[in-house]
Every structure is written in structure tokens, then in C-alpha cells.
Structure 1
Amino acid sequence: MPGTRSSGLLALGGIALAAVLTVVGHLEVNDNLNPWSLTVSDFAVSDRGGVIDTAMAVLAAATLVLLPALRRAGAGRLAGALLVAWSAGLMAAAVVPTNEPGLPMDAAAYVHRYASVVAFLALPVAGWLLARRLGGRAAGWVRGLVLTSLVLAAAMVWSAYPGDRLLIGLAERLLILAEVALLAVVAGILVRREIGEVAVPRLRDHPHLTELAVPARQREVTPARGA
């Protein structure tokens, strides 16, 4: 389906642009910020409305571009809703800033934190559900990235609470890398039209194709007994 491939290509372009903007955002910040101990949000708040916030918005938009194509491919409503939750979480985190590093958290910082938590958890679950629609290596890659994301999310939670923020910046960046890679794999599958029902219409949606699915020898008319 041309529309499906176009959606996949557009999403891949958005993902690539978001990645470039994030790298630029890290290069342009104050040298006193440590990427190992500070989160991406800590970098973004030092440049409100800058390239990192823009990168989050672009990534959210790239995800939404995939939704119609995934629906056509037979993805369930729950997977679509989780992808919307991921996009909404990214947009909220981009619009509502966290607090400056070292300052006590205010209401906006809590909104930012829990919007990020929703996003980080929604995408892996959506990926696991989408993997059921894939075949071969594609499903394996998606499931592997889902499990990697969940392990890294657990490491980030440990660092944020009992770990006294030890290497929280590293854990978060690895988590983001795994989740963006997951999204890119899904988009790449749509480009290659490897989701089972993208290329093959569902018979229940096209009754006139049912006959074609029956082997020719079974469609032969059996002579009436005694004829």
C-alpha cells in the first residue's frame, strides 16, 4: 500500500530529525551539565523551547503519523491507544518543564515527571502488542527492544530512588535509545510492508476473495451421486 509506505518513510524521517536535534541540544548546553548524572529533561530546561523540546514534539508527531498505517495493518485498538499515550506524554514533557537541577520539585516538575513515566512505559507495551502482528526476525527485534527498554526503565527507577540518582542520565539515555530504536523498527517494517495484513487483505473484509483462497481442486463441482 503506497500510503502505508509513505507513512513509514515520513515517520523514519521524523525519528531521524528528532535524533539529530537531541544531539545538537546536548552540544549547545552549558559545559557544567553532566550527561551521566543529569537527565535529558535537565538539559532541556536550561534551553526552554530549544532543540530538545522540539525533538520531543517531532518524535511525538512521527509516532502519530504511523497510527493510520498500523490500523490498516490490523493493529489492535489497545496498541494504538498506547502509542497515543506515548505521544501525549512526550508532548506534555516538551511543553511542561521540569525544575532546574538542584531545586525542589514544583507542580510543573511533577507533571513533567509523570508524563515522561507514562510515555516510557506505554511504548514498550505497545511494541509487545504490535510484535504479535509481525513475523520472523522483525517480531524478535521488537520483543528484544521491548525487554531492553523495561530493564533500563527499572534501572532508571532504581537510580531515581534508592540509587541516589547514580548514573541516572546514562540509564535514561540508553532507555530513550532503545525505545526510539523500537519505534524505528516498526516504521521500517511498514516501509517494507512486512506486517502480515498490509499486503494480504483480510478475507472477512473482502468476501469476494474467499473463493480465491480455496484450492482449485476443492472448488471442483462433485457430480451428484447416481448422475
Structure 2
Amino acid sequence: MHRSARWGLGAVGAGAALIVGLDLAALGEMNPLRRTISEHGLGEQGWIFGLGVALLAVGSAAIGLSLARRRLAGVVGTVALMAWSAGLLVTACFPKHDWSVGPSLSGSIHRAGSVIAFLSLPLAVLIIARPWRAERHRASLAAFAFGIVAVLWVLGMGAVVMVGARSGLAWWQVMPLGLVERCLAAIEVIALAALGVWAARKPVGLVEETESGLT
């Protein structure tokens, strides 16, 4: 059962590496402090961005499947983790839109997918890796800690947006959106990877059974 978590970790790592590679390759052309990650999907290398996000989504689903099979996730935690995966797939299939030229259905769907993804993962992590459960592991505690950081980060973003709105500023004008999004993405991927490590470890029962067979 933990094999799917290992495959999931590999897919998540490959997807994250592709997106980071796109960021590094575009440093001279795109300001990472202001431009969001999704803008990679608009260029000639958009297929690489789509592939990277798809790998993240599939890897996340594999980790969620492993956690569910080991009865570590629960129904709500599994649904929240799958909502993160679905949100990622939506952002990959529907490209980011330039709102300065008017509204767009595709852009609205992309935005909805992004919001669902970024909000669902912290919820999933906090539910699945809660430290007061019977079965704990250092990786699950690390996941919970990064889940808390993600929630605080999102709340901080919301507070800044509210302060900006009172000053008559649009939400994308009150913060370096690219930097803020990248930090949140990094925090959430680290939390996801910690869940994957927790799911991929060899079950205690299997270890004891193996040792009994050797004696």
C-alpha cells in the first residue's frame, strides 16, 4: 500500500522540479515578485507548466489513496486532498487570463481552481496529520506544522487584501503577488511531501510480521 505513496512522492517531486525549472529559465523575462506561477502556462513552454501541474495533481492523488487505504486520512481528509488535486488539474487545463482586457470564462474557471487548490490542501493536512491522533510520526507532525503555516499565510494574505480594499487598492496591488503565491505554493508542497513520507513508511505490523518470520 505504501508503494503508491512512493510513486506519488516521485510525481510530486518531478512536477515541482519542472515548475521551478520554468521559473529559473524565465528569470530574465519575468519578474517572479509580481508575475504569478500560472503565467508560465501562457508562453511557448505552457505545455511544460501543464505537465508539471498535472504531475503534482496525480502524485497528490496517489498519496491520498495510500493514506486512505491505510485508514490515515478519513473521508473528509481524503475529499479535501482530492479537491486540491482537482483544483490543480483545473488550473492546468484552463489557462490564466489577462483581466485587463475583460472577463473570461476560462479565466474565471482557472481562478476558481486555484482558490480551491490552495485552500483545500491546508485543510486536508490539518485533518489528516492532526497530532492528537493515536498514530503519529515525525513526518505527520512536520506536515501538520507546515499546514498551520499555510493557514496563517492565507489569513495574512486576506488581511492585507482587506486593508488594501479600505485604501481603494485592488488586491493585486497591495502585495508582491508572485512572491506571496510562490511562498504559499512552496509551503503547501512541503506539507504534501511530508504526508507522502508518512504514507510511504513501512507499516509497523509488516515490520513485526517480517521479524517474526526471521525468528
1:165 Cα deviation from its structure 2 partner: 4.4
Aligned to 2:210: none
Contact kept in structure 1, 2:88 and 2:113, CA below 8 Å: yes
Post-superposition CA distance 1:181-200 (Å, at most 9, x none)? 0110011112223xxxx434
What SS is found at the alignment partner of 1:31?
Answer: coil
* Cα distance change on mapping 1:64 and 1:115 into 2, 3 Å: same
Q: Secondary structure at the match of 1:50?
A: helix
Of the candidates 118, 121, 126, which is equivalent to residue 120 of structure 1? 118
What's the secondary structure of 1:98's corresponding residue? coil
Alignment of 1:52-131 (within 5 A): 52-74=49-71, 75-100=73-98, 102-131=100-129
CA contact under 8 A between 1:131 and 1:139: conserved in structure 2? Answer: yes
Query: In terms of mean alpha carbon deviation, does 96-105 or 67-76 score higher?
Result: 96-105
Question: Which aligned pairs between 1:168-183 and structure 2 lie closer than 5 A?
Answer: 168-183=177-192
2:167 match: none
The unaligned stretches of length 5 or more in structure 1 are 202-227
Please state if 1:142 is matched with 2:151.
no
Instruction: Render the CA deviation track for 1:51-96: whole Å, top value 9, x for unaligned.
Output: 1221110000001112332122212111111111111100000000
Is the 2:97–2:107 Cα contact (8 Å) retained in structure 1? yes
Q: How many residues align?
A: 194
Larger radius of gyration: 1
* Structure 2 contact 34–179 (Cα < 8 Å) conserved: yes
Bigger fraction of residues in helix: 2
CA distance in 1, matches of 2:25, 2:8: 26
Residue segments in structure 2 that go unaligned for 5+ positions in a row: 165-170, 207-215
* TM-score normalised by the chain length of structure 2: 0.80
What's the CA shift for 1:30? Answer: 7.7
- Residue 153 of structure 2 is matched in structure 1 by 152
Residue 34 (structure 1) shift: 0.8
Q: Between the two proteins, what is the percent identity of the paired residues?
A: 28
Aligned CA distance change for structure 1 residues 58 and 159 (closer, same or farther; 3 Å)? farther
Quick check: 2:12–2:59 contact (8 Å CA) kept in 1?
A: yes
How far has the Cα of 1:26 moved from its partner?
1.7
Residue of structure 1 aligned with 2:38, choices 31, 38, 41:
41
Contact 1:152-1:172 at 8 Å conserved across structures: no
